[in-house]
Structure 1
């Protein structure tokens, strides 16, 4: 990994090899690292896409991705989608809700895309969709709150 941007809550890094070479990820968030790792990048149209590869450890007892895993990924995606609105500021999740639309199997490419529906101030509203191999699995919306600089 290279191109690290250090913050008080971790380091933004870029993967150098593998399936997600060139994608960014946060190193230093113990829960997120253990849950994912999750990655994001800017698309040619200026939007952001988040992704990870589903593994057996992400599945529930029924053999589909655990809903908690999908929601954890959606929480990560909130911040990726809002990258430009955040302008480098730290923020926290105020609200996250989701509607489960379908299953995700192990080995699927899991992606999240969305949009900021209202931003620019301290409160940023985001909505998006998580897919597994291109099929809708979770519709989500969230509110994040920019924190004041100390």
Structure 2
């Protein structure tokens, strides 16, 4: 999957996958980069991400966590396509509109076809979701 570098705005210099319509257009856009602490994914919480109670919808947090699995594992994917085959999460707190959402994590194990990842999402530095998942490399269907 080819990443695109953002040229302007709050996330200038970050990368994203505009070929992922759900994560880019519907749920996101979400962004990722590599800094001195390793891979990081982020986005700014907007009104469209909130539920009727005024906090971020759980589905949005889980979608961002799924995106983050791939951002964290990006270096080892070697440009190959992958799918999530397992995913778990625990909600820790609610995120509010306007907050800076960030995910960081680790690759626990990388095999030939399976990669195991864990991470945590924060809202303005406050933990809101703990997650882990398994990515399976696949040949992209044409």
TM-score (norm 2): 0.94
| Map of 2:120 onto structure 1 | 129
| Map of 2:19 onto structure 1 | 28
| Map of 1:82 onto structure 2 | 73
Shift of 1:120: 3.4
Aligned residue-pair number: 140
- Residues in 1 aligned to 2:105 and 2:32: alpha-carbon distance in whole angstroms: 12
| Map of 2:110 onto structure 1 | 119
- Residues in 1 aligned to 2:113 and 2:103: alpha-carbon distance in whole angstroms: 23
Is the contact between residue 85 and residue 120 of structure 1 (CA under 8 Å) also seen in structure 2?
no
Q: Provide the aligned C-alpha RMSD in A.
A: 1.3
| Map of 1:41 onto structure 2 | 33
| Map of 2:83 onto structure 1 | 92
- Residues in 1 aligned to 2:33 and 2:138: alpha-carbon distance in whole angstroms: 23
| Map of 2:43 onto structure 1 | 52
Helix, strand or coil: the match of 2:3? strand
Q: Which runs of 5+ in 1 are unaligned?
A: 1-6
| Map of 1:15 onto structure 2 | 6
- Residues in 1 aligned to 2:57 and 2:132: alpha-carbon distance in whole angstroms: 18
- Residues in 2 aligned to 1:121 and 1:102: alpha-carbon distance in whole angstroms: 35
Is the contact between residue 90 and residue 146 of structure 1 (CA under 8 Å) also seen in structure 2?
yes
Is the contact between residue 130 and residue 136 of structure 1 (CA under 8 Å) also seen in structure 2?
yes
**After TM superposition, what 4+ stretches of structure 1 lie above 6 angstroms from structure 2?**
none
Q: Which runs of 5+ in 2 are unaligned?
A: none
- Residues in 2 aligned to 1:146 and 1:107: alpha-carbon distance in whole angstroms: 35
TM-score (norm 1): 0.89
- Residues in 2 aligned to 1:41 and 1:48: alpha-carbon distance in whole angstroms: 6
